[in-house]
Amino acid sequence: MNHIFFLIEFLDELIFGVTDAAWPFIKTELHLNYTQIGILLTVPGLISSIVEPFLGILGDIWKRRLLILGGGVCFTLALFITSLSFSFVLLLISFSLFYPASGAFVSLSQASLMDADPGRHDHNMARWTFAGSLGVVIGPLLLVGMSAIGFGWRGVFLTLAFLAGILLVFAWRQIQHDPIHLPQTPFFSGIFTGLKDSFAAIKKPQVFRWLVLLEFSDLMLDVLLGFLALYFHDVAGLTEIQSVSAVIVWLAAGLLGDFLLIPLLEKVDGLKYLRYSVILELLLFPAFLLVPMPWLKLILVGLLGFFNSGWYAILKGRLYSALPGRSGTVMALDNYAGLIGGLLPFGIGLAADAFGLQSAIWLLLAGPVALFIGLPVIHRSEPVR
């Protein structure tokens, strides 16, 4: 059954990989300006951050299978609407449906995967992350390949909707049924109690630790990736096409790292690996910023992408372990923290406007510094998980 969850994550990240690469095509055909693109990237995420905590709580107290499959239906419908979008408004509607639908279909699938084997959170999160990394890498290649044979971006999204529909059928057949004792309709009192308990869970030191470290780790993950092409173009002086090569190097190195992490975690404790990788990143990132040669920067960015593999998987796995049996609550907490952590890229952007990107990018070093300080010390007597 677990394989269906990995396929769901693969498809989700495949779609995001396609979307990131398709923006030039979408912008040209729909005559979008940068403000509209900013709205399309921001508003659906905010809607999702409001809706997903409720979905997470419901996933703990109500019919999780129904929520996953219902999310899958909306997920597929959103992709179909995207393929038909002829205006900014319709595209905004489709994205605003897709993001929370992904929360139900994908995030609750991750939660179910964690519940399936509570003793192997790190290991299964490593497999989950690899499935997503593979999807992100294949996404742009799929768009380019299908465009070369005459499919536009609309055709690609229509194909993705078809694939989502097929996957939904397999999910309906493979995901286990909800317990029969659950109520037919969710009670408001149960949702309210669940939300109250989720806020109370933040006060637990271990839960708070992993939430904070997850958000700081993102500085060297998605936040750095978001500024990578701009850094190579505006600071290192590469062309637009050459700057994209930095993103490709990063993604390819990260994919290899995610793949190798799976067997590594069978032999090495996740936190021990994490601490060593943080030390390497503390050395590699300043070197990446200080070396003047673009070719050497490309090598170093590949090493950065390789050695931060596993950060999300291990930290998220430990968060699940800190709240055993409450995987839906973890989903809610992740969204609470994301509302604050989502401001980090905005802060980097403000600093770049004020002081220049070359100076502002140094702020990302706060990520590995926070992990170095905040990670618990592993004693030799502790068993490998």
- Residue-wise pLDDT for 319-360, tens only, equals 999 988 888 888 888 888 877 777 777 788 788 888 888 898
Residues 349 and 213 in one domain: yes
Contact, 345 vs 221, CB < 8 A?
Answer: no
Rounded CA gap, 342 and 340, in Å?
5
Residues 164 and 249 in one domain: no
Residue 147 in domain: yes
| Whether the predicted pLDDT of 11 surpasses 50 | yes
Rounded CA gap, 24 and 19, in Å?
10
- Alpha-helix residue ranges (DSSP H) falling in the chain: 2-30, 34-61, 64-84, 88-102, 108-116, 121-148, 153-174, 188-202, 205-217, 222-234, 240-264, 270-290, 294-307, 311-322, 327-341, 343-355, 357-360, 366-374
Residue 348 in domain: yes
pLDDT tens for 290-319 read 999 989 999 999 999 999 999 999 999 999
Residues 226 and 124 in one domain: no
At 297 the pLDDT is 93
Rounded CA gap, 271 and 230, in Å?
32
At 308 the pLDDT is 93
Single-letter amino acid, residue 174:
Q
Q: Print the domain residue range for 44.
A: 1-175
Average pLDDT over residues 19-48: 83
Average pLDDT over residues 162-183: 83
Question: What is the pLDDT confidence band of residue 384, given thresholds at 50, 70 and 90?
Answer: very low
pTM of the model: 0.82
Residue 80 in domain: yes
Residues 198 and 345 in one domain: yes
Average pLDDT over residues 146-160: 90
Domain end residue (candidates: 175, 208, 226): 175
Residues 129 and 231 in one domain: no
Domain end residue (candidates: 175, 210, 245): 175
Residue 186 in domain: no
How many independent structural domains does the chain possess? 2
At 187 the pLDDT is 64
What's the length of the chain? 385
Residues 356 and 262 in one domain: yes
Residues 96 and 200 in one domain: no
Residue 99 in domain: yes
Average pLDDT over residues 15-19: 88
pLDDT tens for 266-279 read 888 889 999 999 99
Residue 189 in domain: no
| Whether the predicted pLDDT of 91 surpasses 50 | yes
| Whether the predicted pLDDT of 24 surpasses 90 | no
Which residues, in sequence order, are CB contacts of 326 under 8 Å at separation 6+?
60, 201
Residues 84 and 5 in one domain: yes
Of the listed ranges 212-226, 227-241, 318-332, the one predicted with least confidence: 227-241
Tell me the average pLDDT of the chain: 87
Task: Check which CATH number belongs to the domain holding 235 and give it.
Answer: 1.20.1250.20
Identity of the highest mean pLDDT range in 98-112, 144-158, 192-206: 98-112
pLDDT tens for 67-87 read 999 999 999 999 999 999 999
Domain end residue (candidates: 142, 175, 208): 175
Question: What is the pLDDT confidence band of residue 185, given thresholds at 50, 70 and 90?
Answer: low
The conformational region for residue 378 under phi > 0 = left, psi -120 to 50 = alpha, else beta, is beta
Residues 152 and 54 in one domain: yes
Average pLDDT over residues 242-258: 86
Residue 242 in domain: yes
At 253 the pLDDT is 93
Residues 236 and 98 in one domain: no
Rounded CA gap, 92 and 354, in Å?
31
Residues 153 and 212 in one domain: no
Residue 164 in domain: yes
Average pLDDT over residues 166-184: 79
At 370 the pLDDT is 95
Question: What is the pLDDT confidence band of residue 179, given thresholds at 50, 70 and 90?
Answer: low
Rounded CA gap, 289 and 365, in Å?
11
Contacts 24+ apart (CB under 8 A), 282-291: 282/365, 282/368, 282/369, 282/372, 285/220, 285/364, 285/365, 285/368, 286/365, 289/358, 289/361, 289/362
DSSP assigned state of 327:
H
| Whether the predicted pLDDT of 137 surpasses 60 | yes
Residues 156 and 203 in one domain: no
At 328 the pLDDT is 82
At 356 the pLDDT is 85
